[in-house]
Amino acid sequence: MTPQNGRSVSRAAFFSIKAKVVARLTVVSRRFHSKPLRGHNECYRDVTTVDWNPGNPDDTLPEADAAAIFAIWVECILGALFGPRISNSWSQQRRQMKTVALAGIFLVLVALGVAYNWAHRSAGSRSGGAAALADSMASGQAQAGAGAATEAKWVTVRDARERAFSIQVLQGWKTYGGLFRFSAIDARLVVDMTSPDGLTNLRVGDSTVPPYRVPGPFLRPGPGVASYAAGNVFATRYGQARFASMCQGLQLTKSDARTPKYHPAGGGMTRTTAGEAFFSCTENGSPMSAYVYAETTLLGPGGPGSSWLVVALGSAIAPAQKAAAATAMLQHAGESLVLNPAWTQMQNQLNNQAIQRINASTQATIAATNAAVAHQEAMISALQNDSFNDVINGVQETKDTATGQRYIVPLGTGTTQWVRDSKTVVESGLSPGVGFDQLTPVSH
């Protein structure tokens, strides 16, 4: 049987040496009763006949020979101490036997201590080797995701609408996306990839996420109006909105602020923050993991009159055992994104023109922008997430299953919500009691 740990190895080696030493001392005891103990010449002869250089790979003495030498030396020491004074009288033999026994016990204890120490050091070296091997395996697992991204087959695709960018996507995966323009200054990209088995999904950008204005006394929260969300806060809220319909029992496991990777942090009236969020859930009973990375840029002091937008966004969901590989592939795709310099120049010109029109506050510009928004929203209706603006503001629209009446209620933790008398809303896995009707989330 293979030893389970270093301690079992040391115990086995210890008891092996102990058995051999005790067996040798038993022979010494019999010699003591049957004939005189070894003299000086016999001790020299017996010790020198042992093979002191057995030729082992580690040049160590075998356990059997080590035990033999130790027993010989015990017998020689006892002979030197007590051999010359051995008496034939029974009383003297009893006294001498007690003295010999005490000396023998002492020497046996010393021998067992030495043997245990030797065996423990040997097992410790084995245990240290196992720990080093475990560290090496953990390091290998940490690199597995990056290896999967490198080994995957990638192909480069280009935006077909405005030739705004190129990006690498996974060969053989279902891919859709491109640049979607909502106005002269509002162009959003999305590239979505789904594995052949349908279990892993990667997304760079998201055309359903608009730029935001900070609410104030005359601007209430709603579509495109929300308080500024730092990178990690936005990553958490976005993940809750995106993954809630893709798996069951979605739970946030971790959310951290990060240094921005793709845009300078800045300061003053223009600053960028970054963050990531990790989630867990299940799909048909199998554990799933999800991840979001986001960078958001605030334009202005942060109060009413300020605006902010999401300048970098990536998300992934995959079976738990493939989470590291999915995150690495998402990072590879995001870092392969390259904007077309000619398109960037054109967009900068459009931004400048739009700013001039906004400063002039012309009704024509407002009408043109609204028309462009309506046209582009119709083009990507299949991609729109109608409930996202509610999530970013911490609310959701629900419907009373009994009456059909709709309510805007605070965004809960995922537990079933109930309403009574059209005003009392509670969360509970079971019905709170008589008079409560169940609420179900609905899209606008």
Of the given ranges (233-242, 390-399, 401-410), which has the lowest mean pLDDT? 390-399
Provide the pLDDT confidence category of residue 397 given band limits of 50, 70 and 90. Answer: confident
Residues 118 and 197 in one domain: no
Q: Does residue 123 surpass a pLDDT of 60?
A: no
Q: Which of residues 105, 137, 169 is at a domain's end? A: 137
In a domain? residue 149: no
Residues 403 and 387 in one domain: no
Question: What does the pLDDT read at residue 111?
Answer: 57
Residues 222 and 441: their CA atoms lie apart, in Å, by: 18
Residues 354 and 414 in one domain: no
Tell me if residue 279 falls in helix, strand or coil: strand
Interval 77-116: pLDDT, tens: 555 555 544 444 545 555 555 555 565 566 656 555 655 5
Rounded to an integer, the average pLDDT of 358-387 is: 62
Residues 193 and 339 in one domain: yes
Domain hosting residue 316, numbered range: 154-392
Residues 88 and 181 in one domain: no
Provide the pLDDT confidence category of residue 188 given band limits of 50, 70 and 90. Answer: very high
Residues 406 and 388 in one domain: no
Residues 81 and 102: their CA atoms lie apart, in Å, by: 13
Q: Does residue 142 surpass a pLDDT of 50?
A: no
Rounded to an integer, the average pLDDT of 20-44 is: 50
Interval 259-304: pLDDT, tens: 999 999 988 889 999 999 999 999 999 999 999 999 999 999 888 8
Higher pLDDT residue, 374 or 101?
A: 374
Give the helix ranges, DSSP H, for 52-89: 63-82
303, burial (CB in 10 Å: exposed 0-12, middle 13-18, buried 19+): exposed
In a domain? residue 143: no
In a domain? residue 146: no
Q: Does residue 138 surpass a pLDDT of 50?
A: no
Residues 406 and 350 in one domain: no
In a domain? residue 376: yes
Provide the pLDDT confidence category of residue 409 given band limits of 50, 70 and 90. Answer: confident
pTM for the whole thing? 0.53
Strand partners, 425: 419
Question: What does the pLDDT read at residue 387?
Answer: 55
Please report, rounded to a whole number, the percentage of residues in the chain having pLDDT higher than 90. 38
Q: Which of residues 111, 137, 163 is at a domain's end? A: 137
Q: Which of residues 137, 166, 192 is at a domain's end? A: 137
In a domain? residue 147: no
Higher pLDDT residue, 83 or 52?
A: 83
Q: Does residue 9 surpass a pLDDT of 60?
A: no
Higher pLDDT residue, 339 or 393?
A: 339
Provide the pLDDT confidence category of residue 241 given band limits of 50, 70 and 90. Answer: very high
Ramachandran sector of residue 176 (left: φ over 0; alpha: ψ -120 to 50; beta: rest): beta
Residues 32 and 180 in one domain: no
Higher pLDDT residue, 343 or 386?
A: 343
Residues 317 and 169 in one domain: yes
Question: What does the pLDDT read at residue 17?
Answer: 52
Rounded to an integer, the average pLDDT of 247-253 is: 96
Question: What does the pLDDT read at residue 228?
Answer: 95
Higher pLDDT residue, 208 or 422?
A: 208
Residues 366 and 388 in one domain: yes
Q: Does residue 214 surpass a pLDDT of 70?
A: yes
In a domain? residue 144: no
Residues 96 and 195 in one domain: no
Nearest to 320 by CA among 290, 277, 275: 290
The domain tally of the chain equals 3
Question: What does the pLDDT read at residue 61?
Answer: 46
14, 19, 23, 29 alpha-carbon torsion, rounded to 10°: 70
Q: Does residue 211 surpass a pLDDT of 60?
A: yes
In the structure encoding, which two tokens stand for residue 216, read together? 């104030």
Residues 230 and 370 in one domain: yes
In a domain? residue 426: yes
Question: What does the pLDDT read at residue 32?
Answer: 44
Question: What φ, ψ does residue 79 adopt, rounded to 5°?
Answer: -65, -40
Rounded to an integer, the average pLDDT of 383-390 is: 57
Chain-centre distance of CA 428, in angstroms? 31
Question: What does the pLDDT read at residue 305?
Answer: 86
> CB-hemisphere CA count at 13 Å for 312?
25
Rounded to an integer, the average pLDDT of 139-158 is: 71
In a domain? residue 31: yes
Q: Does residue 5 surpass a pLDDT of 50?
A: no
